[in-house]
Amino acid sequence: MDTHIRNWLLEGDPAIRWQTLRDLMGTEPETVRNERHKVADRGWGAKLLALQDDSGMWGGGIYSPKWISTTYTMLLLRRLGLEPKHPRALRACQLLLDKGFYRDGGINYFAVLDHSETCVTGMVLSIVAYFQYEDKRINSLVEHLLSQQMPDGGWNCQSYYGAVHGSFHTTINVLEGLYEFERYSGLEKTGVQSAINHAVEFLLRHKLYKSDRTGKIINPNMTRFSFPPRWYYDVLRALDYFQASKRPYDPRLSDALELVHKKRLKDGAWPLQNRHPGRTFFEMEEPGKPSRWNTLRALRILKWAEEKF
């Protein structure tokens, strides 16, 4: 890692600094913990926590308005690295389950649906498992998601309406949820690893962003790197899942990794290429400009890939 890029990352928000220390510099755990602790007290994390209302929600709602609701604020706090078991986060976790736990075992915040929403169930699982909220309903979320996996290995929230092919968006949300469940909850559930492997194979079969029949890019938006990703899939988000979960290297990742290399700017950083429209409390970075988030994630992905070769 170039010295000027390292220094630039370390000049950023505590959420950037602690992950840079852990993932790129191999800093001793105590120093990383001390820096991570600052997420709750300074910068973006502190701003978000200060916006939580007396009911425990953000933005006046559980799932909407996007992107200032409780669900999407908690997703962002997870990505910032707010420490598990933070009291304010645990209060929101209870709300997410109390307001949405549905009779089929998943999450449904929508009066127009008579079934749980798969994408949302995956997102909520990622939140409550990451923050180590203790609740038996978490097991039900996992069981529900396992029951919704499609024959091709993916998940699709449109399966109730006839979809027969996995969705990249739904699949990455569920994979991140199952990853957090396995990593943080300390719970064991039969079939989770098998489901994960099946879903990973679904992504690899498509080289993360290409048709398995024609080899063409499925959707150009998948090649444009955003942060926060919200519920959307893109190649950088998928690769970051692979490195975080310490998946073994697979040659079918080569096209995606080459795409990451091509996105690098001359100064060694990566730009913020996309911002998903919606309301925000504040903007962390400006589209088209060098992005600490994308640079951090790209560098740790490439570091992981190099170590796997």
| One-letter-per-residue 3-state SS of 125-161 | HHHHHHCCCCCCHHHHHHHHHHHHCCCCCCECCCHHH
Residue type, 100: G
Query: Which residue matches tokens 């799932």?
Result: 63
To the nearest 10 degrees (0 to 180), the angle between helices 14-23 and 3-10 is 140
* Residue 135 in tokens: 């609740």
CA-wise closest residue to 15 among 72, 74, 77:
77
Each residue of 194-208: pLDDT tens digit?
999 999 999 999 999
| pTM, to two decimals | 0.97
pLDDT of amino acid 200: 98
Spatial CB neighbours of 23, under 8 Å, sequence gap ≥ 6:
296, 299, 300, 303
Spatial CB neighbours of 308, under 8 Å, sequence gap ≥ 6:
248, 249
CA-wise closest residue to 49 among 100, 96, 91, 12:
91
pLDDT < 70 regions, the chain: 186-189, 308-309
Question: What is the set of domains in the chain, with CATH numbers?
Answer: 1-41 (no CATH), 56-308 (1.50.10.20)
CB atoms within 10 A of CB 263: 18
Q: What is the SS3 assignment for the chain? A: CCHHHHHHHHCCCHHHHHHHHHHCCCCCHHHHHHHHHHHHCCHHHHHHHHCCCCCCCECCECCCCCCCCHHHHHHHHHHHCCCCCCHHHHHHHHHHHHHHECCCCCECCCCCCCCCCHHHHHHHHHHHHHCCCCCCHHHHHHHHHHHHCCCCCCECCCHHHCCCCCEHHHHHHHHHHHHHHHHHHCCCCCCHHHHHHHHHHHHHHCCCCECCCCCCECCHHHHCCECCCCCCCCHHHHHHHHHHCCCCCCHHHHHHHHHHHHCCCCCCCEECCECCCCCCCCCCCCCCCEEHHHHHHHHHHHHHHHHHC
pLDDT of amino acid 187: 60
CA angle 206, 210, 216 (to 5 degrees): 140
pLDDT of amino acid 307: 86
Each residue of 108-154: pLDDT tens digit?
999 999 999 999 999 999 999 999 999 999 999 999 999 999 999 99
pLDDT of amino acid 180: 97
